Amino acid sequence: MNLDVSRTVEMKVVQPGMGGAEVPVEGTFRYDQARPFEVALSLALNGQVLATWVFARSLLVLGRRQLVGEGDVRVWPVTGGADEDASQSRVCIELRADTSCWLTIPLAELEAWLRETLRAVPYGKETLHFDIDQQITPFFTPEDLGALDVEDGAPCDAEAGLRRAGIEETAEPALAGFEFVQRFHCTTRSARLARWVALHELDEWGIPYESACSAAAALVIAELTANAIFHGGEPGRTFELRLVCGDVLRIEVSDVLGELRPEPVTAVPAASENGRGLMLVDSVAVAWGVRPRETGTGKVVWADLSLAL
């Protein structure tokens, strides 16, 4: 059974050319567990629905602290003077189509509703509630789809999801942190599929496809996953890709062969066809290394990327 989380709040609309006049409207936020990446916002005046917008939940999560959004929807915090009561803080949502309008909503009201959605689907765990097979089937062959191994039974920690979204039950939210974990079968197509899924996830976090950080992540993920498949994998086994975003972007790829540990490479013979991948990783990463897996046999190869790339 899918959970639908709804909340109606009083919002204020400001349109360019109105001289800053604010018009109160009813805004209803809706979140459907079956569509975990998106939210719907319906605007009503005197009981009549004027419009409904659908956009990414991540815009609301991130927009509480910074300006986010490059398309038809942008979100940012509205701050007043030093003497402003924190309880009066608001968030502005800009909706752009033929014309543009700004909506403001109390931050406390928005966070109260977001908490409910994050208990239903923790931030960073949306893929566990998302039928990814149905979405990617048009783009891949049956062999490609066989490379993807989604663990539907993975634990879904609501409190951890609140922390990842930067929303706590206390008045002072923790710094936002993001995590993504996915297992793939050791097949030749998995490196490409892992890179595609990872870059989509980073884009959802606010690291867009065209950014330098995304390009560096694509290079690192391609190299580490290829090594896991060709040098660290066994037939019928899987490797795991993990992304963690904090002060840096941590990329980890783990496999089952702990005895084959990559070493730093400073030079490669001109005639050699191998060995240059880790040199490229070293050139774009702040740091990289190898450690044993916390559970079972095998190793984890990791690399840290600067978010300021």
Residue 10 clears pLDDT 70, i.e. is over it: yes
Distance CA 275, CA 280 (A): 10
Distance CA 251, CA 302 (A): 6
Distance CA 194, CA 197 (A): 5
pLDDT of res. 296: 72
* Residue 161: both structure tokens together: 């999801």
Q: What is the signed CA dihedral for 133, 159, 166, 57, rounded to 10 degrees?
A: 30
Give the tens place of pLDDT for each residue, 279-289: 888 889 999 98
Residue 302 clears pLDDT 90, i.e. is over it: yes
Distance CA 79, CA 199 (A): 32
* Residue 74: both structure tokens together: 């942008």
Location of structure tokens 């018009």: 23
Name the least confident of 68-77, 100-109, 124-133, 234-243.
124-133
pLDDT of res. 276: 60
Output 237 or 179, whichever has higher pLDDT: 179
Distance CA 231, CA 253 (A): 12
pLDDT of res. 256: 81
pLDDT of res. 101: 83
Q: Would you call 209 helix, strand, or coil by DSSP?
A: coil
Strands (E), the chain: 4-14, 23-32, 38-45, 48-56, 73-78, 90-96, 100-106, 148-149, 178-185, 238-245, 248-255, 287-292, 299-306
Q: Beta-carbon neighbour count of residue 219 at 10 Å?
A: 19
* Residue 209: both structure tokens together: 């496809």
* Residue 153: both structure tokens together: 């039974």
Give the tens place of pLDDT for each residue, 181-224: 988 888 878 888 889 899 988 888 888 888 888 899 999 999 99
Give residues with Cβ within 8 angstroms of 13, minimum separation 6. Answer: 22, 23, 24, 25, 43, 101, 102, 103
Residue 128 clears pLDDT 50, i.e. is over it: yes
Give the tens place of pLDDT for each residue, 77-123: 987 554 555 567 899 999 887 777 889 999 999 999 998 888 888 87
Domain architecture of the chain: domains with CATH: 4-118 (2.30.31.20), 122-306 (3.30.565.10)
Residue 300 clears pLDDT 60, i.e. is over it: yes
* Residue 168: both structure tokens together: 């706590």
pLDDT of res. 203: 84
